[in-house]
Amino acid sequence: MIDFITTTALQNQSCDCICIGFYSDKLQENFSANSELTTLLRDGNIEEIISQGDFTGKLGLTHLVSMGKNNACTPRILLVGLGESEKCSKKNYHKAIESIISAIKPLPIKHLGVHLFAACKEELSITYMLQQLAFQLQRQTYQYSKQALQQGIALYTKDNCSKDTDKHTPLEKVSCIVNQTINDEQQGNDALFLGASLGMGVNTTRFLGDLPANVCTPTYLANFAEQMGQQYDCLTIRVKDEADMQQLGMNVLLSVSQGSKQEAKFIEIEYTPGQAKSNDTIVLVGKGVTFDTGGISLKPSASMDEMKYDMCGAASVFGTMHFLAESMSCQTRVVAVIPAVENMPSDRATKPGDIFLSYSGKTVEVLNTDAEGRLILADALSYAEETYQPTKMINVATLTGACIIALGNHRSAVMSNDDAFAKELMEVGQSVCDPCWQLPLDDEYDKLLHSNFADMANIGGRAAGSITAGCFLKRFVKNTTWAHLDIAGVAWLEGKKKGATGRPVPLLANWIIQQ
């Protein structure tokens, strides 16, 4: 983890670069802010750069200024445009940090100074700014291949691993210069630590998501959990194999896995807080389909490789648990439940029309083997509800392509048996720029799951595909406040920037610490 600290003075910091933010309509403000900053700006001839029009303070604009070797504070200043002060917002602040990251990426900067830009509105508090800064800077240290190497995966030896192209700056330390607006140093450092921990959690999610499916199998995920358990005392790990699941009657879950050579694993990670403030328990359930071919209802081959991301729900639950363990910021028991399977066609695979008896006692007719996520989640949800009697339960899944049609790649879908809970999640998502939007679960949709031969079918037809999937899950939750996040559109990026995003870890983590 990068070493993040707050400081009130630039002197004696010996940074490799200091970033200074400017609102486009208040370019002069920094020159009278405090004498130290004024001196630094004068040394860099910044007033001239501004009067020449080379730096306007436009949002996302950066301008690198060399200070010469002899400057007492820093050899470089990076001017950062914050846009119009009137329009300042969390979104704009994120953009400004992103522009800092791309500007410093090619530079050999180990120690970065950031002159924290004055908080402008209530929405953008100084603690939020510190947390986000640490989060985004920690997040950008993610390097897929390097991480894979560190995890000791045999597939990636030093010689065949040539994908180190996404170089990032070797950042070791970040000093955040906060002015008079914050006087509680501890509060500032806590915000930085929380943000950095969240960055680590998000990177764990991205790492697991990006792994190819021949490495990231259900067994790999189980071993990964065991490793986390060894690393953190506050985490307890339990792993069930197929025989255990059979004994428990998780036949609907096992029906997805039966066509694969890879053994299904049922992973539980329990986080025990230092001092529990209540008897509450939060349960997170993550869809862990390590590869989704569709099974006998085989998917078309175009972009099928992206179905290695079908365990991103599970990965986001792993990442959230990593964040909790690292930051120890939550005083409530949290349990992660991860059904992990591979969905393959084979002579042993489930055939359309096959019927299975679920853990809950209800029977399911599998009309489409490609609607497998809801099947593994069904048994996981009823098991988790019965075993942990949670106060609240959230499942996370790349559940339906229809969700991408409905909401695109910007918002996750949230569905719930409790509108107030859905609203709460939407609000938290909005406040941490990891937004979601509620879809309804009316009975009229639920009826579409009718089967002539079992208690229900696993699909509801073409209409309202995300909602009927949500209705299916709802049937396996008896009396717990529950929400389902469909992250099919937000869990990874396509095209040139292909890669896992780490969403919705910010939403989950921030909701949990607010409990």
* Site residues for Zn ion per CB under 5 A: 289, 292, 310, 373
Can you tell me the distance from the alpha carbon of 56 to that of 365, in angstroms, rounded to the nearest whole number?
A: 63
Bridge partners for 397 per DSSP? 486
Question: CB under 5 A: which stretch of 288-296, 394-402, 456-464, 507-515 binds Mn ion?
Answer: 288-296
455 — alpha (psi -120 to 50), left (phi > 0) or beta? alpha
Length in residues, the chain = 515
CB 239 within 8 A of CB 293: no
DSSP 8-class letter at 465: H
Question: CB under 5 A: which stretch of 16-24, 202-210, 365-373, 407-415 binds Mn ion?
Answer: 365-373
Binding status of residue 486 toward Mn ion by CB under 5 A: no
Compute the least distance from the CB of residue 458 to ligand BES, in Å.
8
Q: What angle do CA 45, 49, 52 make, to 5 degrees?
A: 135
Query: Total binding residues for Mn ion by CB under 5 A?
Result: 3
Mark whether 42 is an active-site residue. Answer: no
And the tokens for 82?
A: 């914050």
- Of 204 and 468, the one with the shorter C-beta distance to ligand BES is 468
Compute the least distance from the CB of residue 487 to Mn ion, in Å.
14
| Binds Mn ion (CB under 5 A): choice among 292, 326, 446, 486 | 292
- Of 312 and 483, the one with the shorter C-beta distance to ligand BES is 312
| Binds Mn ion (CB under 5 A): choice among 342, 370, 379, 434 | 370
Place of tokens 């066609």: 345
DSSP codes joined into one string, 340-393? EEEE--STTS--TTEEEE-TTS-EEEES-TT--HHHHHHHHHHHHHHHH--SEE
- Of 170 and 461, the one with the shorter C-beta distance to ligand BES is 461
- Of 370 and 385, the one with the shorter C-beta distance to Mn ion is 370
Residue 65, SS3? strand
CB 184 within 8 A of CB 2: no
178 binds, among ligand BES, Mn ion, Zn ion, none (CB under 5 to 8 A by kind): none
Can you tell me the distance from the alpha carbon of 129 to that of 148, in angstroms, rounded to the nearest whole number?
A: 31
Compute the least distance from the CB of residue 335 to Mn ion, in Å.
26
136 binds, among Mn ion, Zn ion, ligand BES, none (CB under 5 to 8 A by kind): none
- Of 466 and 510, the one with the shorter C-beta distance to ligand BES is 466
Mark whether 299 is an active-site residue. Answer: yes
Can you tell me the distance from the alpha carbon of 2 to that of 359, in angstroms, rounded to the nearest whole number?
A: 45
Q: Which residues of the chain form contacts with ligand BES (CB under 6 A)?
A: 292, 310, 368, 370-373, 398, 400-402, 459, 465, 488
- Of 138 and 290, the one with the shorter C-beta distance to ligand BES is 290
Catalytic position from the list 240, 308, 374, 392: 374
- Of 44 and 373, the one with the shorter C-beta distance to Zn ion is 373
Q: How far apart are the first and last CA of the chain?
A: 26
Catalytic position from the list 26, 299, 362, 474: 299
Compute the least distance from the CB of residue 482 to ligand BES, in Å.
20
CB 372 within 8 A of CB 292: yes
Can you tell me the distance from the alpha carbon of 115 to that of 176, in angstroms, rounded to the nearest whole number?
A: 6
And the tokens for 51?
A: 């009067």
Compute the least distance from the CB of residue 405 to ligand BES, in Å.
9
Can you tell me the distance from the alpha carbon of 398 to that of 507, in angstroms, rounded to the nearest whole number?
A: 16
141 binds, among ligand BES, Zn ion, Mn ion, none (CB under 5 to 8 A by kind): none
Active site residues: 299, 374
The residues binding Mn ion (CB under 5 A) are 292, 370, 372
